[in-house]
Amino acid sequence: MAEKNEKKQKPKKPKKPKHPFNWLSMLLFATMFQLISMMPVIFLSEEINIEVVGVFGGFILTEWLYFVCARWFAKQRATELEIIAFTLSGIGLVTVASVYPNYALKQFIAILIGLAAFIVLLAIMRNVEVISALRIPVAVAAVGLLCVNLVMAETINGALNWISLGSFSIQPSELVKVAFIFVGAATLEKLQSTHSLTRYLIFSLGCVGALFLMRDFGTALIFFATFLVIAFMRSGDIKTIGLISVAAVLGAGLIIYFKPYVASRFEAYRHVWEYANDGGFQQTRVLSYSASGGFFGLGIGEGRLRHIFASTTDLIFGVICEEWGLVVGFCVILCFAFVAVYALRLARHARSTVYSIAAVASAALLLVQLSLNVFGITDLLPLTGVTLPFISRGGTSMICSWALFAFIKSADIKTYPILEKQMEDK
């Protein structure tokens, strides 16, 4: 009888390990950090700026609404990326509002649009067939956007990469970053088609070439580095990557030879103190003022770097180090390092190579952009004028940053509870 009972008993399914990430505790911690950092900005002047208070309140309300909906309605079990995105966006919003209170609302609207883009892109990335179908239209739209940029954009700070639309302006190259990775990830599914690979190579060269014509060399370098990551993940051939890199260096050498003004933009590199009041003005101030902040900063609104040109765009990391402290600056870098490791781990278990390439390429793009910004303003690399993702002032930069996080999150099957359940049932 005992043997029969044992046969009738169904084997119990192993319990799922609890997710170690406590989202509510982290959200409460992030909110407290945001509230503490927002207080000095609210009381920075004698009269309280009601618009800034409303923007800060709207940001925190949006943050909590998103997590409530994501956890209890969408059944999301992994929200680490969103915590990081909101934390970094909050740092940027506070810094921008402390320097330009009138710009706070625009920055908040950019965050809302970025969040919407994040959600929409997650829905699109759910189905590999949809991704493949959209590959060519997205590529055509990206090329068209760059062509429009070349025709309509105005030269600002030596680069031709901004299109003015009334009181707003957009930077098409930021949006094309998203398209570049989307097309590359979708093309990965067509590895056996030489024609498909050739078209993607032409698309990549077209994007980088257009950026050179715009004189946006920092973004061109970001695109090229991302292309190398995609190419390596496709072929795994170090020799091929080496040949591409050598060809790129030779191409850059020819450009400098025939266009000497390009080299003149980097003449202060590693000699900023010799050009302290000229080409190295910004970097010398960043090096001096950010160091004066020490570990815990001078206090929000108390720094001197905020009065230097591009303090909330190219130099914003220096402002954070000076006013928030080196500890916070280091934590910002650690956030991006965590995202890179997180993307690599997801890529190893992704349900399709589309998600692997999208996640790793996005993380690589963000890391390269972070490096160009941080090392550029500290004179470890040439100053290229790229923004700090999520933090720098700028609408299209914010939208791009959120969209790139969508690529990383889509590689996690837990993002799609229904699909996860179907895979478990199989």
* Assigned domain for 3 exists: no
Average pLDDT for residues 192-196, to the nearest whole number?
Answer: 55
Q: 105 burial class (0-12, 13-18, 19+ CB within 10 angstroms)?
A: middle
pLDDT of 220 reads 86
Candidate from 9-23, 340-354, 355-369 with smallest mean pLDDT: 9-23
For residue 111, which of 334, 327, 407, 403 has the smallest C-alpha distance?
403
Candidate from 104-108, 162-166, 226-230 with smallest mean pLDDT: 162-166
pLDDT of 201 reads 80
Mean pLDDT of the chain: 85
Residues 6+ apart with CB under 8 A from 60: 31, 34, 35
Sheet holding 159-165, edge to edge: 154-156, 159-165, 168-170
* Assigned domain for 8 exists: no
96 to 30, 58, 101, 109, 210: CA distances (angstroms): 18, 16, 7, 13, 30
pLDDT of 239 reads 62
* Assigned domain for 351 exists: yes
pLDDT band, very low/low/confident/very high, at 108 (cuts 50, 70, 90): very high
User: What SS3 state is found at 351?
Assistant: coil
Residue 306 in this model has a pLDDT that exceeds 90: yes
Average pLDDT for residues 138-143, to the nearest whole number?
Answer: 92
What pTM value is reported for the model? 0.90
**Other C-beta atoms lying within 10 Å of the C-beta of residue 330:** 12
* Assigned domain for 14 exists: no
* Assigned domain for 11 exists: no
Residue 421 in this model has a pLDDT that exceeds 90: no
The beta-carbon contacts of 124-133 under 8 Å, at least 24 apart in sequence, are: 125/355, 125/358, 125/406, 125/407, 125/410, 126/410, 126/416, 126/419, 128/189, 128/352, 128/354, 131/182, 131/185, 131/186, 131/354, 132/186, 132/189
pLDDT of 1 reads 46
Which residue bears the tokens 């190295």? 280
- Structural domain harbouring 305: 20-425
- pLDDT tens by residue, 238-270: 665 665 666 566 566 655 554 555 565 577 788
Rounded-to-integer distance, Cα 161 and Cα 214, Å? 6
Residues 404 and 367: beta-carbon distance below 8 Å: no
C-alpha 219: how far from its chain's center?
A: 12
* Assigned domain for 305 exists: yes
Residues 6+ apart with CB under 8 A from 110: 394, 395, 396, 398, 399
- Phi first, then psi, for residue 155 (nearest 5°) are -75, 120
- Phi first, then psi, for residue 68 (nearest 5°) are -65, -45
- pLDDT tens by residue, 71-84: 888 888 888 999 99
Residue 170 pairs with which residues in a beta bridge? 163
* Assigned domain for 296 exists: yes
Return the half-sphere exposure (C-beta side, CA atoms, 13 A cut-off) of residue 258: 5
**Other C-beta atoms lying within 10 Å of the C-beta of residue 195:** 8
Our count of domains for the chain comes to 1
* Assigned domain for 6 exists: no
Return the half-sphere exposure (C-beta side, CA atoms, 13 A cut-off) of residue 383: 26
